[in-house]
Structure 1
Amino acid sequence: MAIDAMAAISPAGDSRAGEVLRLRREISRMQRRRSEHPLLPLDPAFSSLLPEQGLQTGTAYTVSSSPSLVLALLSAASGKGLWCAVVGMPTLGVEAAAAFGIALPRLILVPDPGERWLAVTSALAEVVPLIAVQPGGRVRDAEASRLSARLRDRGTTLLVAESETAGSWPQSEGSIRLHDQRWQGIGEGWGLIEGSTATVTARTRSSPLASSVHVRLPGSTGAVEAVPEETVTELVTLPALRVTDAAPPERPSLAVAG
């Protein structure tokens, strides 16, 4: 591979066109062949989310804009030696990526592609098997169709992070969304974040019925961890709301003074 280490490209102003051309030249030197694998692996914590237990190659998925979710979805493929890229997500942290097990020498970052986000994504799709992108604006149906054709031709999987300005992504294979996130370690204006739990829900064209998993994101080691169902029950059930057959305890009588 031609890129020796993590590449970070932040084009600005008139230099953006030159940066895109340079990116294309670097990509052309990598010469990735089309993947023959129909699926990209997922972390075991997400194995039950999708009916195929992996991301279909040559397709696009709509995902929540959470950097933790994006990194968790990239981690298994990176662990298998595949290249990954993230486009248009300037707040995504390199240390967090490493904590999720992503190999930084095989990670391409394009934090701020500006209006050329689609051109950058299309160029990367030639050689990078898994790309996460947060669109910088709405994409026209014709542009999405051309990108989809390239994804199918190269066997590339695209994760499209939702944003209010971009609207819904056309021709999406399915959605993977994070919700009901709860943080641990924070008091009322004090405390350090120790981690969080969340629910991740997926739907696909072939399986429109929602499938959900409960995870720690991040977990104790920084990566994603599955939360056992009994733990989830304990987290959401308050003792005062439990129903039992026992009679309520007798309350002591109150004395009134004065």
Structure 2
Amino acid sequence: MGIGLEAVTALSPVGDSRAGEVLRLRREISRMQRRRSDLPLLPLDPAFSSLLPEQGLQAGTSYTVSPSPSLVLALLSAASRRGLWCAVVGMPTLGVEAAAAFGIALPRLILVPEPGDRWLAATSALAEVVPLIAVQPGSRARDADVSRLSARLRDRGGTLLVTESTSTGAWPQSEGTIRLHDQHWEGIGEGWGLIEGSTATVTATTRHSPLPASVRVRLPGPLGAIEELPAESTTADTRAELTALPALRDRDDTGREYRPLAVAG
């Protein structure tokens, strides 16, 4: 019983078929008939335990996150390994191979890569039965629609991860923010090589804990789980970056042109 990848892996509506696809999704979801979850927290990977004061994602709430596929998959991984269903809406570049590398159970992963302007309807429908949903909004949501979705999350005990962008603005009624920054890719040589993973810093703040908490991690680790890097590595990286700044300021680079760099992730 339930919706697997074969049912809604590619909800990619075109033209007038969008409404029909969403209705089909609702019918499939109604077959699951998930009752309200009584879990107060959804689990996070142990490497992220120090980020949030509760050491987990609060049920019935929303979080604003960076639009990074690596971060989204890292936040879904622990819940999926515990047997919970997860869904990703509006992220066509997120692949199933990458999800599997993070230890996410593909039979319990629902992908809606291109919902178009029906992204909010698809997210609301999934919130009926899926406890953890990540969504990349396709447009700015109205306050009334956000309030209805928030009420549904509270009623069903679900958690929503909303990626932030300049076009859609900040997500209202967010419990906190989880951002990825200072990401460095591994396995790439001078313009060649296979990507083997990345290291990055993840920083979180919440309404009840406004002071930021950060952790340096490898995404993913050798066994798929998130690997927390030793504290001395983070300190060394930070010291190296700070030491380099004065030297850069002393150089006379006035008028020098730099070629743009391509950034992955």
Instruction: Provide TM-score, normalisation by structure 2.
Output: 0.86
Mapped to 2, the partners of 1:99 and 1:195 lie a distance apart of 10
Mapped to 1, the partners of 2:173 and 2:61 lie a distance apart of 9
Correspondence for 1:3: 3
Displacement over 6 Å in runs of 4+? none
**1:100–1:223: 8 Å Cα contact kept in structure 2?**
yes
Residue identity opposite 2:3 in structure 1: I
**1:197–1:217: 8 Å Cα contact kept in structure 2?**
yes
Pairwise mapping of residues 99-138 of structure 1 onto structure 2 (< 5 A)? Answer: 99-138=101-140
The offset of 1:223, in angstroms, is: 3.8
Correspondence for 1:253: none
Q: Provide the secondary structure at the position in 2 that maps to 1:175.
A: strand
Alpha carbons of 1:221 and 1:174: their partners in 2 closer, same or farther (altered >3 Å)? same
The offset of 1:236, in angstroms, is: 4.6
Give the CA RMSD over aligned residues.
Answer: 1.6
Residue identity opposite 1:229 in structure 2: A
Pairwise mapping of residues 6-85 of structure 1 onto structure 2 (< 5 A)? Answer: 7-8=8-9, 9-85=11-87
Which residue of the other structure, out of 162, 183, 186, is the alignment partner of 1:184?
186
The offset of 1:134, in angstroms, is: 0.2
Mapped to 1, the partners of 2:4 and 2:185 lie a distance apart of 37
Correspondence for 1:97: 99
Q: Which moved more, 1:191-200 or 1:18-27?
A: 191-200
Correspondence for 1:227: 229
Q: Is 1:145 aligned with 2:147?
A: yes
Correspondence for 1:251: none
Mapped to 2, the partners of 1:75 and 1:33 lie a distance apart of 22
Q: Which moved more, 1:74-83 or 1:177-186?
A: 177-186
Q: Which has the higher helix share?
A: 2
Unaligned runs of at least 5 residues, structure 2 = 245-265
The offset of 1:220, in angstroms, is: 2.7
Residue identity opposite 1:225 in structure 2: E
**2:180–2:200: 8 Å Cα contact kept in structure 1?**
yes
Count matched residues.
240
User: Residues 204-247 of structure 1: CA distance to partner in whole angstroms, max 9, x if unpaired?
Assistant: 01101101010011333344211111222344555xx69xxxxx
**1:96–1:222: 8 Å Cα contact kept in structure 2?**
no
Mapped to 1, the partners of 2:53 and 2:109 lie a distance apart of 27
Alpha carbons of 1:115 and 1:210: their partners in 2 closer, same or farther (altered >3 Å)? same
User: Residues 19-48 of structure 1: CA distance to partner in whole angstroms, max 9, x if unpaired?
Assistant: 000000011110000011100000011011
Instruction: Provide TM-score, normalisation by structure 1.
Output: 0.89
Residue identity opposite 2:191 in structure 1: G
The offset of 1:11, in angstroms, is: 1.5
Q: Provide the secondary structure at the position in 2 that maps to 1:101.
A: coil
Alpha carbons of 1:22 and 1:208: their partners in 2 closer, same or farther (altered >3 Å)? same
**2:60–2:156: 8 Å Cα contact kept in structure 1?**
yes
Q: Provide the secondary structure at the position in 2 that maps to 1:146.
A: helix
Q: Provide the secondary structure at the position in 1 that maps to 2:152.
A: helix
Structure number with greater Rg is 1
**2:4–2:110: 8 Å Cα contact kept in structure 1?**
no
Unaligned runs of at least 5 residues, structure 1 = 243-258
Residue identity opposite 1:145 in structure 2: S
